[in-house]
Structure 1
């Protein structure tokens, strides 16, 4: 059966499954999720029996499932060439250019919708990530096999202590940026708001943590000013 990994919105989710049928231009995952060849991420064509991760949308009326992005799930016991051996690394994000994520000024990878949903947030310069990856031959580009924040914490009832332009601070110790912060629809944090947050380890001058999502504690805050 298809296993739900993480919900994105009311009618979208990330699933893992097996390709059960595949033609020249389309196929099915577990006989219930349809995908077209345009949804495939990566150079390899899918085959029956392939394990995949898919970003799936559910039609609001018919409830049909359709994958809009599909990529092969690489198993740890799959034979690989020496240069593509999976390695583990804790590393700092050195630069973010759209979906091009640079690591320690040495390697880079592209963050697609699937890996972004699994990670749960958009990386920011200074974030520390734990990755499993393999090197691509004669390239500084790497293939990501797993991705997570090195340290992640859930904090209850912290206070927004300052906001300046597109950045802010919680409890004078945790920073956030508006363009990389997930909030409930219609909510805008203001100084003095008490919120629950998810924070990840992220290094910048005077701070060691970055808030990646925020939910107001007081319902009166939910619609903003």
Structure 2
């Protein structure tokens, strides 16, 4: 009798284990979501690839800028941790507010770096590499944490590089977004864009307040939890 009971118990344990395994197979695997920048490397009528490996459907592309191969984009990417499938669920072409479509002069190179400090009229990307503020493109004042693109050359016999132009690595204009919070001279827009009144252009007499709707020009910048910094703000209306 005991032997029969043990066999029955073992049968139901195996059945339960099989049902649990089947349920696990039906459950969706954990999905990791991240944001990224990349280059469109393939584009067909209904789909494309970013950086040759991230699939996207053309119906997830936003904005009014026609997308082409070679275009830089922002993307929200889903990665299934079980199947390793990676796809973009939102793709936004980059509109570069400070775009310079001219080719650099022969003999110049491009350096990308993050501002670590600004002292007097000098911008320091890292120890030993600095530039004068007068090489920065018009309308942009760098701030600690900003990512820059520097066109430079090496002078014969010189130990340091010579900067010809300095501009934000990425910039764009964002319309009708809400100010999320203001603390002293700093604030956040749309829960994702940092600003500080110490380096913000805005109309005389206007004081940014929470819930104001504004148009902003933003640049790529590392600011604590935020990846963008507003450099210009124009109020649209207030609540």
TM-score, normalized by length of structure 2?
0.52
Is the 8 Å Cα contact of residues 121 and 180 (structure 1) preserved in structure 2?
no
Structure 1: any 5+ residue segments left out of the alignment? 1-74, 78-84
Picking from 105, 123, 127, the partner of 1:76 is: 105
Cross-structure match for 1:102: 124
Q: How far is the alpha carbon of 1:76 from its aligned partner? A: 2.4
Superposition deviation, residue 208 in structure 1: 0.4
Deviations 1:24-68 (A, max 9, x none): xxxxxxxxxxxxxxxxxxxxxxxxxxxxxxxxxxxxxxxxxxxxx
Residue 121 (structure 1) aligned to one of 136, 140, 143: 140
CA 1:119/1:127 → structure 2, altered by over 3 Å: closer, same or farther? farther
Return the match for 2:174 from 147, 155, 161: 155
SS of residue paired to 1:217: strand
SS of the aligned residue for 1:190 comes to coil
Larger helix proportion of the pair: 2
1:185 is aligned to 204
Q: Counterparts in 2 of 1:14-53, with a 5 A limit? A: none
1:143 to 1:167, Cα distance in 2 relative to 1, 3 A: same
Tell me, yes or no, if the aligned pair for 1:158 and 1:196 is still in contact at 8 Å. Answer: yes
Q: TM-score, normalised by structure 1?
A: 0.55
Matched, 1:93 2:115: yes
- The SS at the match of 1:102 is strand
Contact 1:132/1:147, CA 8 A, preserved across alignment: yes
CA RMSD of aligned residues (A): 2.1
For 2:147 and 2:165, how far apart are their aligned partners in 1?
Answer: 14
Deviations along 1:104-159, one digit per CA (max 9) or x if unpaired, are: 333001102xx44x34211011111111112455544x422122211111101111
Aligned partner of 2:163 in structure 1 is 144
Measured in 2, the distance between the counterparts of 1:119 and 1:125 equals 18
Matches of 2:231 and 2:179 in 1, distance apart?
14
| Displaced runs of 4 or more, over 2 A | 134-140
Provide the C-alpha distance between the structure 2 equivalents of 1:119 and 1:139, rounded to a whole number of angstroms: 28
**Larger Rg, first or second structure (1 or 2):** 2
